C-alpha cells in the first residue's frame, strides 16, 4: 500500500468517527439539499436538459482539437494572449514571467480550482509575490493555511463559531460576531487589496469558442473586482472547459448554478473577451488565458473514461456521496475530492499513487444520479479499478487472495473442504484488520448451506 493510500485509510478512520465534523458537514449539506431541491423544480424537463448537456460535452471532447484553436483565434483577435501549458510547472513558469515582466509584487485571486491544482499560491509565495484570495471561503481557508474542503464551498467544514474565533484571533473582531459582521470585516480587508493589486488571477467556468471569451459565474462579485481593477488579468482554465457557442450558456449557466447552490442563476455572471478596448472605460490593459492540460489529455486518451472531462465542477456528486459525507474533503489529499476526484485524479496525477480513491466508494450510484451532465461516475470507478489491476498495481497478497477465492467459488468441493471453525480462525487472524476495528467479524456457520441442503435431502429420502 502506498503512503498516500495508508494515510487515506488512517485519516478516514479518524474523520468518520469525529462527531463534531460530521455534525457540521451534514448540517451544511442538508441546507444545500433543500436549496437544490427547490432549484431543480424550476426545470420543465430536467432529464432532457441533462441529456442535452451530456451531448454537448461529448461533442466537445470529439472536437477539442478544433474548438480550442477556434477559441484562441477569436480571443487573440481582440488583443488577448493565449498560452498553452502542458503541466503545472509550465503554467507557473509562464505566470511568473508575466508578473516579473510587469514588475508586479501583489496578486489578487478569485476562486479557482485550476490554481489550486497547480499550487499557484505556494509557488508565488516562494518567489516573494504576495497573493490574496478574494472569495470569502477561500480567504478563510487561506488564513488557516488549509486547502479548500469542497469544490464549490471551500470552508464547508467550518461552523460560524470556528470562523468567528479565527477572525477574533487575526483581526480582533468580537468572538460572538455574526456571519454578517464577519462578512463586513472581510469586505473591509479585501477592498483595499483590489485597488492596490498589480495582477488579478481567475479561473474560468467556460471557454466560449465562437466568441473567444471566458465565462465566470460567482455570488460575491469578487471575480468582477479581480478582473477590473488590476492592470493585468490572467485566467487559468482547463482545456476541457471549452463549449462551442455563447448560446450554450443558456443551458450551462442554469444547470451549473442549480446543481452547485440551488439558485436559478448565480448573482454575478460575466463574459470577458479580452483586455480593455479603446472605447471601454473598465478592464485590464493586458489579458492572458492559460490553457492547462496537466494530465487532461491522459484522460482524454481513455475512451471509456474520458467522460470525466465532462465535469462542470458543480460539486453535486460530493454532496450526494455517503463516503464524502463521512470522511470529508481534506481526507482525499487531492485538489478534486469526492467521486469526481476519484475518477479523474488517477489519470491526471498517476494511477499508482491514487488508485485507492477508486475503491473509496460504496458504488451506490447516487453520484451518477445527481450529475448534471450525466457522467456515469460509478461505472468509471469500476473501470479505474480494472485498469489498476491490468497495470499490475495490486499487491501480490491481494492478487493471490482473489485467485484463491475464485478457485474456491468455482468448485463447491473446495468451498466445503475447510470447516467453519477453520474459516473463522482464518478470518480472526488474517482478515480482522481489513474489516476495521469498529466492525464485528461475521461468523461462518459450521456447515455450508450446500452441505446442510445435501444432508436435509438425504434425510427426507430416508
Any idea where the domains of the chain sit in the sequence?
1-41+316-394, 48-294, 396-461
- In the CATH hierarchy, which fold is given to the domain comprising 48-294? Rossmann fold (3.40.50)
Please list the residues that pair with 289 across neighbouring strands.
Answer: 82, 235
pLDDT value at position 313? 97
State phi, psi for 78 to the nearest 5 degrees: -100, 20
Separation CA 342–CA 428 (nearest Å): 31
At 456 the pLDDT is: 86
Closest CA to 214 of 148, 270, 282, 281: 270
Q: Map grid coordinates 473598465 to a residue.
A: 282
User: Which pLDDT score, from 0 to 100, does residue 252 have?
Assistant: 98
CB of 322 closer than 8 Å to CB of 369: no
CA distance 247 to 341: 29
For residue 461, the model assigns a pLDDT of 61
Q: What is the pLDDT of residue 420?
A: 79
The b/e string for 25-60 (b: 16+ C-beta within 10 A; e otherwise) is beebbeebeeebeebbeeeeeeeebbebbbebbeeb
Report the distance separating Cα 365 and Cα 4, nearest Å.
25
Instruction: Give average pLDDT by consecutive 10-residue segment, the chain, 462 residues.
Output: 88 92 94 94 95 98 97 97 98 98 96 97 96 96 96 95 96 95 94 93 98 96 95 98 97 97 95 93 94 97 95 96 95 96 96 94 95 97 94 84 82 76 82 75 84 82 55
Q: Are 424 and 444 in contact (CB under 8 A)?
A: yes
CA angle 13, 342, 202 (to 5 degrees): 110
Cα–Cα dist 410/422, whole Å = 20
Residue pair 139/190 in contact (Cβ under 8 Å)? The answer is yes
What confidence score (pLDDT) does residue 2 get? 80
Give the pLDDT confidence of 327-381 residue by residue, as tens digits: 999 999 999 999 999 999 999 999 999 999 999 999 999 999 999 999 999 999 9
Extract the C-alpha cell encoding 62: 470529439
pLDDT value at position 447?
A: 81
Query: CA torsion sign, 143 to 147 to 153 to 155?
Result: negative
Residue 236, C-alpha cell as written in the block: 487559468
Amino acid 344: pLDDT: 97
Amino acid at each position: 500500500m502506498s503512503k498516500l493510500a495508508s494515510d487515506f485509510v488512517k485519516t478516514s478512520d479518524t474523520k468518520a468517527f469525529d462527531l463534531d465534523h460530521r455534525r457540521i458537514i451534514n448540517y451544511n449539506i442538508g441546507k444545500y439539499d433543500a436549496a437544490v431541491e427547490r432549484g431543480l423544480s424550476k426545470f420543465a424537463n430536467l432529464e432532457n436538459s441533462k441529456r442535452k448537456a451530456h451531448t454537448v460535452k461529448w461533442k466537445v471532447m470529439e472536437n477539442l482539437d478544433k474548438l480550442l484553436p477556434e477559441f484562441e483565434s477569436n480571443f487573440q483577435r481582440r488583443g488577448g494572449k493565449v498560452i498553452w501549458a502542458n503541466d503545472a510547472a509550465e503554467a507557473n513558469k509562464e505566470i511568473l514571467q508575466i508578473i516579473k515582466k510587469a514588475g508586479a509584487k501583489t496578486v489578487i485571486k478569485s476562486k479557482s480550482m485550476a490554481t489550486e491544482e497547480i499550487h499557484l499560491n505556494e509557488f508565488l509565495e516562494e518567489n516573494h509575490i504576495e497573493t490574496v484570495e478574494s472569495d470569502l471561503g477561500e480567504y478563510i481557508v487561506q488564513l488557516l493555511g488549509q486547502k479548500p474542503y469542497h469544490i464549490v464551498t471551500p470552508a464547508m467544514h467550518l461552523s460560524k463559531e470556528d470562523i468567528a474565533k479565527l477572525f477574533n484571533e487575526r483581526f480582533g473582531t468580537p468572538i460572538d460576531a455574526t456571519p454578517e459582521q464577519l462578512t463586513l470585516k472581510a469586505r473591509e480587508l479585501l477592498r483595499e487589496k483590489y485597488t492596490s493589486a498589480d495582477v488579478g488571477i481567475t479561473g474560468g467556468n467556460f471557454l466560449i469558442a465562437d466568441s473567444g471569451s471566458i465565462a465566470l459565474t460567482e455570488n460575491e462579485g469578487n471575480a468582477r473586482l479581480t478582473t477590473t481593477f488590476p492592470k493585468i488579468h490572467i485566467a487559468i482554465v482547463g482545456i476541457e472547459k471549452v463549449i462551442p457557442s455563447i448560446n450554450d450558456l443558456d443551458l450551462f449557466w442554469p444547470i451549473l448554478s442549480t446543481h452547485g447552490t440551488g439558485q436559478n442563476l448565480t448573482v454575478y455572471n460575466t463574459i470577458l473577451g479580452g483586455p480593455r478596448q479603446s472605447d471601454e472605460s473598465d478592464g485590464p490593459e493586458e489579458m492572458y488565458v492559460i490553457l492547462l492540460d496537466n494530465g487532461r489529455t491522459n484522460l482524454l486518451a481513455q475512451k471509456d473514461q474520458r467522460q470525466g472531462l465532462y465535469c462542470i465542477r458543480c460539486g453535486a456528486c460530493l454532496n450526494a456521496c455517503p463516503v464524502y459525507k463521512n470522511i470529508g474533503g481534506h481526507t482525499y489529499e487531492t485538489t478534486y475530492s469526492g467521486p469526481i476526484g476519484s475518477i479523474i485524479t488517477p489519470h491526471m496525477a498517476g494511477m499508482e499513487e491514487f488508485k485507492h480513491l477508486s475503491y473509496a466508494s460504496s458504488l451506490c450510484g447516487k453520484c451518477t444520479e445527481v450529475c448534471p451532465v450525466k457522467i456515469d461516475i460509478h461505472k468509471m470507478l469500476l473501470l479505474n479499478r480494472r485498469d489498476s489491476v491490468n497495470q499490475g498495481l495490486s499487491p501480490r497478497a491481494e492478487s493471490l487472495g482473489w485467485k484463491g477465492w475464485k478457485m474456491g467459488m468455482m468448485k463447491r468441493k473446495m468451498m466445503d473442504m475447510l470447516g467453519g471453525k477453520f474459516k473463522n480462525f482464518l478470518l480472526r487472524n488474517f482478515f480482522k484488520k481489513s474489516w476495521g476495528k469498529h466492525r464485528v467479524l461475521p461468523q461462518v456457520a459450521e456447515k455450508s448451506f450446500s452441505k446442510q441442503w445435501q444432508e436435509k435431502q438425504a434425510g427426507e429420502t430416508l
